[in-house]
Amino acid sequence: MFVVLRNPKREIELSGPKNVEALLARLEIVPESVIVIRNDELVTRDARLVDSDRVEIRPVTSGGA
């Protein structure tokens, strides 16, 4: 699958993870710090993934006071 990461923006190709939770675990990303968008739709942790999916992992943490 095609994975879009941000800050800085980059794209990687991956195969294997069967759902969102497994994908985040593979990339060592804390689920609480991101939202996941699959083919333009927001999805939950248990959403199934297939290798033809395009997945954006968008960080939600902003800095500053």
Torsion angle of alpha carbons 47, 55, 58, 33, nearest 10°? 40
Site size for ligand SF4 (CB under 6 A)? 3
Binding mask 46-65 for ligand SF4 (x = CB under 6 A): -----------------xxx
Cβ contact 3:20 at 8 Å: no
The CA distance from 12 to 4, in Å, is 7
Minimum CB distance to other proteins smaller for 44 or for 52: 44
Minimum CB distance to other proteins smaller for 52 or for 62: 62
Q: Which residues bind ligand SF4 (CB under 6 A)?
A: 63-65
